[in-house]
Amino acid sequence: MGFLNILLVVASLAVIFVIAYAVRRHTRQQDEINRRFLEEEEAANSVRKKEIESELFYTPDLAALPAIPEGDPHSVKRCAKRTMLRLPRPMTNLELKKQYGLAQMDSIAQYEENFNEYLKAITAWAGDLAEAGELRDALVLLNEAVSLGSEFRNSYKLAADIHVKNRDEIKLQELRFKVTANHFKDPAVRNHVVEYIDSKLASEW
């Protein structure tokens, strides 16, 4: 075997050794992460049930919204009657269990779902109003959704479209600030909306 071939074999063995070491190290680190997570889960599952703070519950003021159309096509009234929970920031299931106990998890999930269904309902209603040219009423609903930290892209995109129609760059800038300030469970939603608003700001007014 020539000297060059020997060097190639040694280099190959060295690479294999480095890769094997890296894999073993990563595996150990991942095992440690998994162990800690399981320990935290076990501890969280043993937390006694705690009452949810009253200020975290949300009750809509329907009187402050536009008149609900006959037949309530988006079920806004029905959604508004449900118990809703508005958390100040997105929280993982582990964090929620640590805070309120495992026994509260089903209730919290339902209350959060009710809250999102309400936001979805008023956003859809705003879309209908915007299509009908009732932009002021549509904005009332969209401002409500935005102020409550809606997770739905359309809550923000519809509001941006209306500000463009109204040629109100200041309101569009304010909307962008609110988007960046809101807490999103999925950062991709924020990024998408910010890009959408920026595209509107970059267009000719």
pLDDT tens-place values along the chain, 205 residues long: 566 666 666 667 676 777 777 777 777 667 556 667 565 776 667 789 999 999 999 999 999 999 999 999 999 999 999 999 999 888 999 999 999 999 999 999 999 999 999 999 999 999 999 999 999 999 999 999 999 999 999 999 999 999 999 999 999 999 999 999 888 889 999 999 999 999 999 986 6
Structural domain spans, the chain:
47-202
Beta bridge partners of 58: 84
**Torsion of the alpha carbons at 35, 39, 45 and 46, rounded to the nearest 10:** 160
How buried is 158 (Cβ within 10 angstroms: 0-12 exposed, 13-18 middle, 19+ buried)?
buried
C-alpha separations of 42 from 36, 48, 49, 101, 104 in Å: 10, 12, 15, 11, 16
Cα–Cα distance measured from residue 113 to residue 115, given in angstroms and rounded to the nearest whole number: 5
Structure tokens at 80: 């508004």
Model pTM score = 0.80
Structure tokens at 168: 């109100």
Q: How far is CA 27 from the centre of its chain?
A: 31
